[in-house]
């Protein structure tokens, strides 16, 4: 008597695992695309430490200018 690997249970589990894998792959693609969209369409991107920050420069940011 040989062990059959083609039991219906294996097919069902394979379908479930494939579904989870595809869902995760789709989620990764979505997050990646969202990141690209946010970065390319986003506002000012700047470093935070020991560097010039345009957002804090009154000459660049009108919100910081005093009357």
Residues in touch with other proteins (CB under 8 A): 1, 3, 7-9, 12-13, 15-16, 18-20, 30-31, 33-34, 36-38, 41
Please state, as a whole number, how many other Cβ atoms lie within 10 Å of the Cβ of residue 43.
6
User: Smallest gap, in angstroms, from Cβ of residue 50 to other proteins?
Assistant: 28
User: Smallest gap, in angstroms, from Cβ of residue 35 to other proteins?
Assistant: 9
User: Smallest gap, in angstroms, from Cβ of residue 47 to other proteins?
Assistant: 22
- Which residues 6+ apart lie within 8 Å of 14 measured at CB? none
Tell me the backbone φ, ψ of residue 17, rounded to 5 degrees: -65, -40
């Amino acid at each position: 008597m040989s062990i059959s690997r083609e039991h219906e249970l294996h097919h069902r589990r394979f379908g479930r695992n494939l579904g989870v894998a595809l869902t995760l792959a789709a989620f990764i693609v979505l997050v990646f695309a969202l990141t690209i969209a946010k970065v390319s369409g986003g506002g000012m991107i700047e470093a935070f430490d020991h560097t010039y920050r345009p957002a804090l420069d009154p000459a660049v940011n009108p919100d910081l200018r005093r009357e």
